[in-house]
Amino acid sequence: MKVLCAMSGGVDSSVAAAMLLDEGHEVTGCTMRLWGGASDTGCCSVADVDDARRVAQQLGIDHFVFNFGDDFDASVVGPYVASHAAGETPNPCIECNRSLKFDRLLQRADALGFDAVATGHHAVVAHEGTRWHLRRGADRAKDQSYVLYMLGQAQLARTLLPVGRLTKLEVRRRATALGLRTASKPDSQDVCFITSQGGREQFLAERLSFTPATVVDTAGRELATVTAVELVTVGQRKGLGLAGGGVPRYVVDVDVAAARVVVDVAEGLLTDEVTLSTLCWVGDEHAPDPDVASPVPAEAFPVLAQCSAHGEPVAATFDPMTATVRFDKPSRRIAAGQSVVLYRNDEVIVGGVARRARSEAAQSST
């Protein structure tokens, strides 16, 4: 099989390419040049592209560099800025997977005559019965199925994730045995277009006008002010200008239009439910049947809800008719814009983006 392997310059994608070769596939490496600005934290630096190219040379495979910068700006950076402007907390890495790695790259693979695309993500794709399934990777601490929940049947059918059945230690051992230059390279961290020096504040300040906001408690009493409501997120405790020494308070609501941030004690962060938008179903029997006129399942069913990339899943029930996740026990409030991914055991069923849901206390302060 002809496989186009996305190589980020890290150890996982390096070993993924090597494993595909061992399996007898015709492998070509590629690196997507996505971000043309300053980068010192993610996987888009010039050094990363060079590392990917050199690993390809070590493996004896061709290596392409695809310039998808315009697509990245339109599909990832632009929505990231717009989401902050709306008082949300976006996840740009998920949008990059959705729009670039498993959309734009698949289109390029089609144009070049490849049968499949491979990446170094720690997750498992399996075919059982008539459907493809997405499951957690073998290394629970490194599992990345959360950021792949948007993959549908057509994409899963053409996606290979070779390292998903290995632990990170096993990946590094294989890289060391092969003498790959990325064997001991640290994992990439944070968002590739946010530098460690300037951070999110500088990045956004160059792209939107910040709005000062009042910080109030749940009774509407003014406590402090912030210079940029667009930088505040649900669950935040520091950087709010609150007087010290009292009971810790956390952000429970961000209202850009009203230029107001509502804070409450820790218990105020708890919620019984979250409603999702932009649902993406994967391979479970609950997934909509494309041949049925009304594809949404009619009954609620039990799930494990994961509300952040490395969060601990919690028991819940999902009502697909209202796209509402109801937690078995009160759970920490999820910021609007964050993804919530629902599992049965280790299998991804459906995921979506949390909608803004103001608490009763926040509503009473208006």
The residues carrying an active-site annotation are 96, 192
Instruction: Give burial (CB, 10 Å; 0-12/13-18/19+) of 68.
Output: buried
Distance separating alpha carbons of residues 240 and 227, to the nearest angstrom: 9
312: Cβ contacts below 8 Å, ≥ 6 apart = 306
Evaluate whether 359 touches 268 at the Cβ level (below 8 Å): yes
**42 CB-side CA count, 13 A:** 20
Using left for φ > 0, alpha for ψ between -120 and 50, and beta otherwise, residue 119 falls in beta
Distance separating alpha carbons of residues 206 and 80, to the nearest angstrom: 13
Lookup result for tokens 């991804």: 348
